[in-house]
A and B are shown apart, each in its own frame.
Chain A
Amino acid sequence: MKKKFNFAFFDEGSKREIRRSILKAIAIPGYQVPFASREMPVARGWGTGGIQLTLSCIGQKDVVKVIDQGSDESVNAISIKKLITDTTDVEITTSTTDATIIQSRHRVPEEELNENQIIVLQVPTPEPLRDYEPSETKTKILHGEKEYTGAKLLLFEQIMKYNTMATGADHPVEVNNRYVMAPSPIPKFDNPKLNESKATILLGAGREKKIYAVPPYTKVISLDFEDVPFEVENFKGKSCSHCGASHVYLDEIIDQESGSVSYQCNDTSYCLKRRNGEIQ
Protein backbone atom coordinates (compact mmCIF):
# COMPACT_ATOMS: atom_id res chain seq x y z
CA MET A 1 0.00 0.00 0.00
CA LYS A 2 1.37 3.39 -0.95
CA LYS A 3 1.20 5.40 2.24
CA LYS A 4 1.56 8.78 0.62
CA PHE A 5 -2.12 8.78 -0.34
CA ASN A 6 -5.08 9.16 1.93
CA PHE A 7 -7.14 5.98 2.22
CA ALA A 8 -9.00 5.48 -1.08
CA PHE A 9 -6.94 8.15 -2.85
CA PHE A 10 -9.31 11.06 -2.23
CA ASP A 11 -9.08 13.71 0.42
CA GLU A 12 -11.98 13.54 2.87
CA GLY A 13 -13.63 16.66 1.45
CA SER A 14 -13.95 15.05 -1.97
CA LYS A 15 -15.43 11.89 -0.49
CA ARG A 16 -17.93 13.92 1.51
CA GLU A 17 -19.13 15.78 -1.54
CA ILE A 18 -19.50 12.63 -3.61
CA ARG A 19 -21.24 10.85 -0.72
CA ARG A 20 -23.73 13.69 -0.35
CA SER A 21 -24.44 13.48 -4.08
CA ILE A 22 -24.93 9.70 -3.86
CA LEU A 23 -27.50 10.09 -1.07
CA LYS A 24 -29.39 12.66 -3.14
CA ALA A 25 -29.21 10.41 -6.20
CA ILE A 26 -30.73 7.53 -4.21
CA ALA A 27 -33.51 9.80 -2.96
CA ILE A 28 -34.35 10.90 -6.52
CA PRO A 29 -33.99 7.70 -8.59
CA GLY A 30 -32.85 8.35 -12.15
CA TYR A 31 -32.15 12.05 -11.63
CA GLN A 32 -28.65 13.16 -12.61
CA VAL A 33 -27.11 14.91 -9.62
CA PRO A 34 -24.31 17.29 -10.66
CA PHE A 35 -21.07 16.87 -8.71
CA ALA A 36 -17.56 18.29 -8.78
CA SER A 37 -15.87 15.47 -10.70
CA ARG A 38 -12.28 15.18 -9.56
CA GLU A 39 -9.11 14.98 -11.58
CA MET A 40 -8.06 11.31 -11.45
CA PRO A 41 -4.83 9.48 -12.28
CA VAL A 42 -6.78 7.87 -15.12
CA ALA A 43 -7.85 9.74 -18.23
CA ARG A 44 -11.45 10.92 -18.39
CA GLY A 45 -13.47 8.45 -20.39
CA TRP A 46 -11.72 5.51 -18.72
CA GLY A 47 -14.14 5.13 -15.90
CA THR A 48 -13.36 8.12 -13.70
CA GLY A 49 -17.02 8.52 -12.71
CA GLY A 50 -17.22 4.92 -11.61
CA ILE A 51 -13.89 5.07 -9.79
CA GLN A 52 -14.96 8.15 -7.88
CA LEU A 53 -18.09 6.37 -6.70
CA THR A 54 -16.20 3.22 -5.78
CA LEU A 55 -13.49 5.11 -3.88
CA SER A 56 -16.04 7.20 -1.98
CA CYS A 57 -17.99 4.13 -0.88
CA ILE A 58 -15.16 1.73 -0.21
CA GLY A 59 -14.08 0.62 3.26
CA GLN A 60 -11.34 -1.66 4.56
CA LYS A 61 -13.61 -4.70 4.70
CA ASP A 62 -15.03 -4.39 1.20
CA VAL A 63 -14.35 -6.96 -1.49
CA VAL A 64 -14.14 -5.44 -4.93
CA LYS A 65 -14.70 -6.80 -8.40
CA VAL A 66 -14.01 -4.76 -11.50
CA ILE A 67 -15.16 -5.81 -14.94
CA ASP A 68 -14.67 -4.30 -18.35
CA GLN A 69 -17.06 -5.52 -21.05
CA GLY A 70 -17.60 -8.73 -19.09
CA SER A 71 -13.90 -9.39 -18.52
CA ASP A 72 -12.08 -9.25 -15.20
CA GLU A 73 -8.72 -9.16 -16.93
CA SER A 74 -8.80 -6.44 -19.58
CA VAL A 75 -6.53 -3.39 -19.38
CA ASN A 76 -9.19 -1.04 -18.01
CA ALA A 77 -10.28 -3.49 -15.31
CA ILE A 78 -6.70 -4.18 -14.27
CA SER A 79 -5.72 -0.49 -14.09
CA ILE A 80 -8.74 0.35 -11.98
CA LYS A 81 -8.12 -2.61 -9.68
CA LYS A 82 -4.50 -1.48 -9.28
CA LEU A 83 -5.55 2.02 -8.32
CA ILE A 84 -8.04 0.65 -5.80
CA THR A 85 -5.66 -1.82 -4.17
CA ASP A 86 -2.71 0.59 -4.16
CA THR A 87 -4.70 3.12 -2.19
CA THR A 88 -6.93 0.92 -0.03
CA ASP A 89 -5.41 -2.55 0.26
CA VAL A 90 -8.85 -4.17 0.00
CA GLU A 91 -9.45 -7.68 -1.22
CA ILE A 92 -10.08 -8.13 -4.94
CA THR A 93 -12.19 -10.91 -6.37
CA THR A 94 -13.45 -12.09 -9.73
CA SER A 95 -16.44 -13.84 -8.20
CA THR A 96 -19.65 -11.86 -8.57
CA THR A 97 -21.21 -13.41 -5.47
CA ASP A 98 -18.21 -12.68 -3.21
CA ALA A 99 -17.97 -8.98 -4.09
CA THR A 100 -19.52 -6.22 -2.00
CA ILE A 101 -18.78 -3.54 -4.60
CA ILE A 102 -18.77 -4.36 -8.30
CA GLN A 103 -17.53 -1.69 -10.66
CA SER A 104 -18.51 -2.48 -14.19
CA ARG A 105 -17.92 -1.02 -17.57
CA HIS A 106 -21.02 -1.83 -19.55
CA ARG A 107 -22.22 -5.20 -18.26
CA VAL A 108 -24.39 -6.36 -15.41
CA PRO A 109 -22.98 -9.74 -14.36
CA GLU A 110 -24.84 -12.91 -15.36
CA GLU A 111 -25.08 -14.15 -11.79
CA GLU A 112 -27.91 -12.46 -9.94
CA LEU A 113 -26.82 -9.71 -7.59
CA ASN A 114 -27.82 -9.77 -3.95
CA GLU A 115 -28.94 -7.35 -1.30
CA ASN A 116 -26.11 -5.34 0.22
CA GLN A 117 -24.10 -5.43 -2.97
CA ILE A 118 -23.42 -2.19 -4.81
CA ILE A 119 -22.93 -2.19 -8.55
CA VAL A 120 -21.17 0.88 -9.92
CA LEU A 121 -21.63 1.51 -13.63
CA GLN A 122 -19.31 3.75 -15.63
CA VAL A 123 -21.20 6.20 -17.82
CA PRO A 124 -19.87 8.09 -20.85
CA THR A 125 -23.09 9.94 -21.74
CA PRO A 126 -25.52 10.28 -18.84
CA GLU A 127 -28.06 12.40 -20.70
CA PRO A 128 -30.58 10.26 -22.64
CA LEU A 129 -31.90 13.35 -24.41
CA ARG A 130 -28.51 14.66 -25.54
CA ASP A 131 -28.82 13.58 -29.20
CA TYR A 132 -32.17 15.32 -29.32
CA GLU A 133 -31.23 18.48 -27.44
CA PRO A 134 -27.62 19.66 -27.16
CA SER A 135 -28.25 22.28 -24.48
CA GLU A 136 -27.85 21.13 -20.88
CA THR A 137 -30.08 23.95 -19.63
CA LYS A 138 -32.84 22.78 -21.93
CA THR A 139 -32.52 19.07 -21.15
CA LYS A 140 -32.75 19.91 -17.44
CA ILE A 141 -36.02 21.72 -18.15
CA LEU A 142 -37.27 18.75 -20.19
CA HIS A 143 -36.53 16.42 -17.26
CA GLY A 144 -38.22 18.86 -14.89
CA GLU A 145 -41.33 18.86 -17.03
CA LYS A 146 -41.19 15.09 -17.62
CA GLU A 147 -41.18 15.90 -21.33
CA TYR A 148 -39.68 12.79 -22.91
CA THR A 149 -40.99 13.01 -26.45
CA GLY A 150 -37.36 13.47 -27.56
CA ALA A 151 -36.27 10.09 -26.19
CA LYS A 152 -39.20 8.37 -27.88
CA LEU A 153 -38.53 10.30 -31.08
CA LEU A 154 -34.97 8.97 -31.26
CA LEU A 155 -36.31 5.41 -31.01
CA PHE A 156 -39.05 6.17 -33.53
CA GLU A 157 -36.47 7.39 -36.04
CA GLN A 158 -34.62 4.09 -35.68
CA ILE A 159 -37.83 2.19 -36.38
CA MET A 160 -38.41 4.33 -39.48
CA LYS A 161 -34.88 3.64 -40.73
CA TYR A 162 -34.29 0.06 -39.66
CA ASN A 163 -37.75 -1.31 -38.88
CA THR A 164 -36.67 -1.97 -35.31
CA MET A 165 -35.25 -0.15 -32.29
CA ALA A 166 -31.58 -0.30 -33.24
CA THR A 167 -29.98 0.74 -29.95
CA GLY A 168 -27.08 -1.68 -29.57
CA ALA A 169 -26.50 -0.49 -26.04
CA ASP A 170 -27.62 2.29 -23.72
CA HIS A 171 -31.31 1.76 -24.49
CA PRO A 172 -33.12 4.42 -22.41
CA VAL A 173 -35.18 3.37 -19.42
CA GLU A 174 -37.84 4.99 -17.27
CA VAL A 175 -37.12 4.80 -13.55
CA ASN A 176 -39.85 4.73 -10.90
CA ASN A 177 -42.41 6.09 -13.42
CA ARG A 178 -40.63 9.44 -13.49
CA TYR A 179 -37.15 10.02 -14.90
CA VAL A 180 -35.90 8.72 -18.23
CA MET A 181 -32.34 7.58 -17.68
CA ALA A 182 -29.40 6.35 -19.72
CA PRO A 183 -28.56 2.95 -18.18
CA SER A 184 -24.93 3.38 -19.39
CA PRO A 185 -23.95 1.44 -22.53
CA ILE A 186 -24.97 -1.95 -21.18
CA PRO A 187 -26.46 -4.19 -23.87
CA LYS A 188 -30.24 -4.35 -24.05
CA PHE A 189 -29.81 -7.87 -22.69
CA ASP A 190 -28.93 -6.36 -19.28
CA ASN A 191 -31.72 -3.76 -19.10
CA PRO A 192 -34.25 -6.14 -17.50
CA LYS A 193 -31.69 -6.93 -14.76
CA LEU A 194 -31.97 -3.32 -13.55
CA ASN A 195 -35.68 -3.74 -12.88
CA GLU A 196 -36.43 -4.58 -9.23
CA SER A 197 -32.73 -5.35 -8.72
CA LYS A 198 -31.79 -6.58 -5.26
CA ALA A 199 -28.56 -4.57 -5.35
CA THR A 200 -28.09 -0.82 -5.24
CA ILE A 201 -27.11 0.57 -8.65
CA LEU A 202 -24.90 3.66 -8.77
CA LEU A 203 -23.95 5.33 -12.04
CA GLY A 204 -21.12 7.80 -12.41
CA ALA A 205 -20.12 10.01 -15.32
CA GLY A 206 -16.75 11.60 -14.57
CA ARG A 207 -16.38 13.64 -17.73
CA GLU A 208 -19.98 14.88 -17.61
CA LYS A 209 -19.84 15.40 -13.83
CA LYS A 210 -23.04 13.54 -12.99
CA ILE A 211 -24.00 10.90 -10.45
CA TYR A 212 -27.29 9.05 -10.55
CA ALA A 213 -28.70 5.92 -9.02
CA VAL A 214 -31.35 3.28 -8.97
CA PRO A 215 -32.21 2.02 -5.49
CA PRO A 216 -33.02 -1.68 -5.08
CA TYR A 217 -36.57 -2.86 -5.74
CA THR A 218 -37.28 -0.01 -8.11
CA LYS A 219 -39.26 -0.22 -11.32
CA VAL A 220 -37.03 0.24 -14.37
CA ILE A 221 -38.84 -0.04 -17.69
CA SER A 222 -37.09 0.08 -21.07
CA LEU A 223 -38.75 2.58 -23.39
CA ASP A 224 -40.74 1.04 -26.23
CA PHE A 225 -43.96 1.33 -28.21
CA GLU A 226 -47.18 -0.67 -28.07
CA ASP A 227 -46.64 -2.06 -31.55
CA VAL A 228 -42.83 -2.31 -31.29
CA PRO A 229 -42.16 -3.83 -27.88
CA PHE A 230 -38.72 -3.79 -26.28
CA GLU A 231 -36.71 -6.90 -27.11
CA VAL A 232 -33.32 -8.05 -25.86
CA GLU A 233 -30.62 -9.46 -28.12
CA ASN A 234 -31.54 -12.89 -29.38
CA PHE A 235 -29.02 -15.73 -29.08
CA LYS A 236 -31.44 -18.49 -30.04
CA GLY A 237 -29.67 -21.67 -31.11
CA LYS A 238 -26.27 -20.34 -30.02
CA SER A 239 -24.26 -21.36 -26.99
CA CYS A 240 -20.85 -20.76 -25.42
CA SER A 241 -18.16 -22.91 -27.03
CA HIS A 242 -16.38 -23.21 -23.65
CA CYS A 243 -19.09 -23.87 -21.09
CA GLY A 244 -22.15 -24.51 -23.23
CA ALA A 245 -24.26 -21.76 -21.65
CA SER A 246 -27.13 -20.74 -23.89
CA HIS A 247 -29.09 -18.24 -21.80
CA VAL A 248 -26.36 -15.60 -21.47
CA TYR A 249 -24.91 -12.66 -23.39
CA LEU A 250 -22.49 -14.11 -25.94
CA ASP A 251 -19.51 -12.70 -27.82
CA GLU A 252 -19.12 -13.64 -31.47
CA ILE A 253 -15.63 -14.95 -32.23
CA ILE A 254 -14.57 -15.14 -35.87
CA ASP A 255 -11.60 -17.32 -36.75
CA GLN A 256 -9.32 -15.14 -38.93
CA GLU A 257 -8.10 -18.04 -41.08
CA SER A 258 -11.08 -20.31 -41.57
CA GLY A 259 -13.71 -17.59 -41.18
CA SER A 260 -15.76 -19.87 -38.96
CA VAL A 261 -17.93 -18.30 -36.28
CA SER A 262 -18.13 -19.44 -32.67
CA TYR A 263 -19.57 -17.93 -29.50
CA GLN A 264 -18.41 -17.60 -25.95
CA CYS A 265 -19.71 -16.09 -22.72
CA ASN A 266 -19.08 -12.37 -22.46
CA ASP A 267 -18.98 -12.64 -18.65
CA THR A 268 -15.64 -14.43 -18.18
CA SER A 269 -15.96 -15.12 -14.45
CA TYR A 270 -19.37 -16.70 -14.99
CA CYS A 271 -17.94 -18.90 -17.76
CA LEU A 272 -15.00 -19.92 -15.57
CA LYS A 273 -17.27 -20.80 -12.66
CA ARG A 274 -19.36 -23.00 -14.92
CA ARG A 275 -16.32 -24.74 -16.30
CA ASN A 276 -15.03 -25.33 -12.77
CA GLY A 277 -18.37 -26.81 -11.84
CA GLU A 278 -19.02 -24.13 -9.19
CA ILE A 279 -22.37 -23.20 -10.72
CA GLN A 280 -24.74 -24.92 -13.11
Chain B
Amino acid sequence: MSKFHRVFDTQKLFRQVLDSMSYAASVKNVHSICNGCDYSMDLFKTTQAIAISLLDADTSYNVIGSKNIDEKLAMITYCRKNDIANADYIFIPNENQSELDKIISQAKIGTLIDPHLSATIIVECNSCTSGKVYRCKGPGIKETKEIKINIQSDWLDARNEKNIEFPLGVDLIFVDKNYNLLALPRTTQVERV
Protein backbone atom coordinates (compact mmCIF):
# COMPACT_ATOMS: atom_id res chain seq x y z
CA MET B 1 0.00 0.00 0.00
CA SER B 2 1.43 3.34 -0.99
CA LYS B 3 2.06 5.93 1.70
CA PHE B 4 1.68 8.75 -0.79
CA HIS B 5 -1.22 10.87 0.48
CA ARG B 6 -3.62 11.53 -2.37
CA VAL B 7 -4.68 14.91 -0.96
CA PHE B 8 -1.71 16.43 0.84
CA ASP B 9 1.24 14.84 -0.97
CA THR B 10 -0.21 15.48 -4.42
CA GLN B 11 -0.59 19.13 -3.42
CA LYS B 12 2.99 19.37 -2.18
CA LEU B 13 4.31 17.68 -5.31
CA PHE B 14 2.21 19.93 -7.54
CA ARG B 15 3.74 23.00 -5.91
CA GLN B 16 7.25 21.66 -6.52
CA VAL B 17 6.43 20.94 -10.17
CA LEU B 18 4.81 24.38 -10.45
CA ASP B 19 7.92 26.00 -8.97
CA SER B 20 10.22 24.10 -11.28
CA MET B 21 8.04 25.05 -14.24
CA SER B 22 7.64 28.74 -13.33
CA TYR B 23 11.24 29.23 -12.16
CA ALA B 24 12.09 27.29 -15.26
CA ALA B 25 14.88 24.74 -15.18
CA SER B 26 15.17 24.82 -11.39
CA VAL B 27 15.87 21.51 -9.68
CA LYS B 28 13.51 20.46 -6.91
CA ASN B 29 14.21 17.58 -4.56
CA VAL B 30 10.97 15.83 -3.64
CA HIS B 31 12.35 12.98 -1.53
CA SER B 32 10.26 13.82 1.53
CA ILE B 33 7.09 13.92 -0.57
CA CYS B 34 7.53 10.99 -2.90
CA ASN B 35 9.55 8.39 -1.01
CA GLY B 36 6.35 6.66 0.12
CA CYS B 37 4.85 6.54 -3.35
CA ASP B 38 5.03 2.96 -4.47
CA TYR B 39 2.38 1.53 -6.73
CA SER B 40 4.69 -1.32 -7.83
CA MET B 41 5.24 0.16 -11.26
CA ASP B 42 8.62 -0.03 -13.01
CA LEU B 43 9.05 3.71 -12.57
CA PHE B 44 10.87 5.95 -10.11
CA LYS B 45 8.69 6.86 -7.16
CA THR B 46 8.76 10.50 -8.24
CA THR B 47 7.48 9.58 -11.68
CA GLN B 48 4.69 7.46 -10.18
CA ALA B 49 3.75 10.37 -7.92
CA ILE B 50 3.63 12.80 -10.84
CA ALA B 51 1.35 10.39 -12.70
CA ILE B 52 -0.97 10.04 -9.70
CA SER B 53 -1.03 13.81 -9.23
CA LEU B 54 -1.83 14.82 -12.79
CA LEU B 55 -3.63 12.02 -14.60
CA ASP B 56 -7.29 11.13 -14.61
CA ALA B 57 -10.03 10.09 -17.00
CA ASP B 58 -9.95 13.52 -18.69
CA THR B 59 -6.42 12.99 -19.93
CA SER B 60 -4.55 10.52 -22.09
CA TYR B 61 -1.13 9.00 -21.65
CA ASN B 62 1.45 6.86 -23.31
CA VAL B 63 4.25 4.87 -21.75
CA ILE B 64 7.29 3.78 -23.69
CA GLY B 65 8.13 0.15 -23.09
CA SER B 66 7.03 -1.71 -19.98
CA LYS B 67 3.67 -3.44 -19.97
CA ASN B 68 3.62 -3.47 -16.17
CA ILE B 69 3.39 0.31 -16.07
CA ASP B 70 0.88 0.49 -18.84
CA GLU B 71 -1.73 -1.66 -17.15
CA LYS B 72 -1.26 -0.22 -13.68
CA LEU B 73 -1.30 3.40 -14.74
CA ALA B 74 -4.66 3.01 -16.42
CA MET B 75 -6.02 1.01 -13.49
CA ILE B 76 -4.92 3.49 -10.81
CA THR B 77 -5.65 6.79 -12.56
CA TYR B 78 -8.47 5.82 -14.98
CA CYS B 79 -6.41 7.61 -17.61
CA ARG B 80 -6.88 6.56 -21.22
CA LYS B 81 -4.02 5.30 -23.32
CA ASN B 82 -3.38 7.06 -26.59
CA ASP B 83 -0.71 6.78 -29.26
CA ILE B 84 2.43 8.89 -28.89
CA ALA B 85 1.29 11.48 -31.41
CA ASN B 86 -1.93 12.16 -29.48
CA ALA B 87 -1.12 11.53 -25.80
CA ASP B 88 -1.32 14.42 -23.31
CA TYR B 89 1.31 12.92 -21.01
CA ILE B 90 4.10 10.67 -22.16
CA PHE B 91 6.18 8.72 -19.67
CA ILE B 92 9.64 7.47 -20.59
CA PRO B 93 11.04 4.96 -18.06
CA ASN B 94 14.72 4.93 -17.24
CA GLU B 95 15.58 1.97 -19.44
CA ASN B 96 14.04 3.70 -22.46
CA GLN B 97 15.62 7.12 -21.87
CA SER B 98 17.57 6.86 -25.13
CA GLU B 99 14.29 7.20 -27.00
CA LEU B 100 13.63 10.73 -25.72
CA ASP B 101 14.68 12.47 -28.94
CA LYS B 102 12.47 10.17 -31.01
CA ILE B 103 9.51 10.71 -28.68
CA ILE B 104 9.95 14.49 -28.68
CA SER B 105 9.75 14.57 -32.45
CA GLN B 106 6.56 12.48 -32.44
CA ALA B 107 4.69 14.21 -29.59
CA LYS B 108 1.89 16.67 -30.21
CA ILE B 109 2.65 20.40 -30.02
CA GLY B 110 -0.86 21.87 -30.02
CA THR B 111 -2.20 24.25 -32.64
CA LEU B 112 -1.82 28.01 -32.94
CA ILE B 113 -5.42 28.36 -31.80
CA ASP B 114 -5.12 25.80 -28.98
CA PRO B 115 -1.44 25.61 -28.02
CA HIS B 116 -2.39 24.06 -24.68
CA LEU B 117 -3.35 20.84 -26.46
CA SER B 118 0.27 19.78 -26.46
CA ALA B 119 2.16 16.98 -24.77
CA THR B 120 4.08 16.99 -21.52
CA ILE B 121 6.88 14.45 -21.52
CA ILE B 122 8.05 13.04 -18.22
CA VAL B 123 11.40 11.34 -18.71
CA GLU B 124 13.54 9.40 -16.28
CA CYS B 125 17.22 10.22 -16.62
CA ASN B 126 20.42 9.20 -14.82
CA SER B 127 20.74 12.55 -13.09
CA CYS B 128 19.29 16.08 -13.13
CA THR B 129 22.14 17.46 -11.06
CA SER B 130 25.20 16.17 -12.89
CA GLY B 131 26.18 15.38 -16.46
CA LYS B 132 26.25 17.53 -19.56
CA VAL B 133 26.02 21.24 -18.91
CA TYR B 134 23.39 23.33 -20.65
CA ARG B 135 22.72 27.05 -20.49
CA CYS B 136 19.08 28.14 -20.24
CA LYS B 137 17.33 31.42 -20.65
CA GLY B 138 13.75 32.60 -21.04
CA PRO B 139 10.73 33.34 -18.84
CA GLY B 140 11.22 32.20 -15.25
CA ILE B 141 14.99 32.63 -15.42
CA LYS B 142 16.78 35.72 -14.21
CA GLU B 143 19.32 36.29 -16.98
CA THR B 144 20.73 32.76 -17.52
CA LYS B 145 20.90 29.53 -15.60
CA GLU B 146 23.17 26.52 -16.05
CA ILE B 147 21.75 23.04 -15.61
CA LYS B 148 23.29 19.59 -15.73
CA ILE B 149 21.51 16.58 -17.13
CA ASN B 150 22.85 13.06 -17.54
CA ILE B 151 20.76 11.20 -20.09
CA GLN B 152 21.62 8.78 -22.89
CA SER B 153 19.83 10.71 -25.57
CA ASP B 154 20.63 13.50 -27.97
CA TRP B 155 17.44 15.27 -27.03
CA LEU B 156 18.41 18.90 -27.40
CA ASP B 157 18.29 19.18 -31.19
CA ALA B 158 14.97 17.35 -31.31
CA ARG B 159 13.54 19.71 -28.67
CA ASN B 160 14.88 22.83 -30.36
CA GLU B 161 13.38 21.73 -33.64
CA LYS B 162 10.05 20.84 -32.05
CA ASN B 163 9.70 24.08 -30.09
CA ILE B 164 10.84 26.36 -32.87
CA GLU B 165 7.52 28.14 -33.29
CA PHE B 166 6.31 29.39 -29.92
CA PRO B 167 3.57 28.96 -28.61
CA LEU B 168 3.71 25.48 -30.14
CA GLY B 169 5.87 22.92 -28.42
CA VAL B 170 6.31 20.25 -25.79
CA ASP B 171 7.10 20.67 -22.11
CA LEU B 172 9.62 18.36 -20.48
CA ILE B 173 9.97 17.16 -16.92
CA PHE B 174 13.21 15.31 -16.11
CA VAL B 175 13.18 13.01 -13.10
CA ASP B 176 16.08 11.10 -11.55
CA LYS B 177 16.35 8.29 -9.03
CA ASN B 178 17.52 10.66 -6.31
CA TYR B 179 14.08 12.28 -6.27
CA ASN B 180 15.18 15.36 -8.21
CA LEU B 181 12.90 16.86 -10.81
CA LEU B 182 13.61 19.56 -13.35
CA ALA B 183 11.04 21.10 -15.67
CA LEU B 184 11.79 22.67 -19.02
CA PRO B 185 8.72 24.50 -20.32
CA ARG B 186 8.66 25.22 -24.04
CA THR B 187 9.64 28.86 -23.44
CA THR B 188 13.09 27.94 -22.11
CA GLN B 189 15.87 28.32 -24.65
CA VAL B 190 18.51 25.71 -24.04
CA GLU B 191 21.99 25.53 -25.52
CA ARG B 192 25.03 23.35 -24.96
CA VAL B 193 27.89 24.88 -23.04
Contacts and interface: CB of A to CB of B under 8 A. Distances in A.
A49 interface: no
| Residues of A contacting B: mostly | mixed
B18 A200 contact: yes
B185 interface: yes
Interface residues of B, number: 39
A26 B18 contact: yes
B113 A140 contact: yes
Contact of B54 (A20, A60, A145): A20
Interface stretch (B3-11, B36-44, B95-103, B127-135): B3-11
A144 B112 contact: yes
Interface string B1-42: 000001110111011011101111000000000000000000
Contacts of A179: 167
Interface stretch (B66-74, B137-145, B149-157, B174-182): B137-145
Contacts of B8: 7, 59-60
B10 A12 contact: yes
A137 B8 CA distance: 38
Nearest to A34: B116
A26 B171 CA distance: 10
Measured as residues with beta carbon below 8 angstroms from the partner, the interface class of chain A is 35 or more
B107 to A, nearest CB: 14
A178 B140 contact: no
Nearest to A35: B116
Contacts of A217: 23, 139-142
A16 B56 contact: yes
A116 interface: yes
Contact of B21 (A17, A26, A218): A26
A59 B12 contact: yes
Contacts of A243: none
A16 B14 CA distance: 9
A29 B139 contact: yes
A22 B18 contact: yes
B59 interface: yes
Interface in B98-130: 111-116, 118, 120
Contacts of B11: 7-8, 15, 57-59
A29 B112 contact: no
Given A59-B8, A59-B11, A115 B23 contact: yes
A24 B114 CA distance: 11
Interface in B155-187: 166-167, 171, 185-187
B143 to A, nearest CB: 8
B14, B56, B120, B185, most chain A CB atoms within 10 A: B14
A23 interface: yes
Contacts of A178: 166-167
Interface of B: 6-8, 10-12, 14-15, 17-19, 21-24, 53-56, 58-59, 111-116, 118, 120, 139-142, 166-167, 171, 185-187
5 contacts: A15-B11, A16-B56, A19-B53, A26-B22, A140-B113
Given A16-B54, A16-B55, A23-B120, 11 more contacts: A23-B17, A23-B18, A28-B115, A29-B139, A144-B113, A145-B112, A179-B167, A200-B19, A215-B24, A215-B187, A217-B141
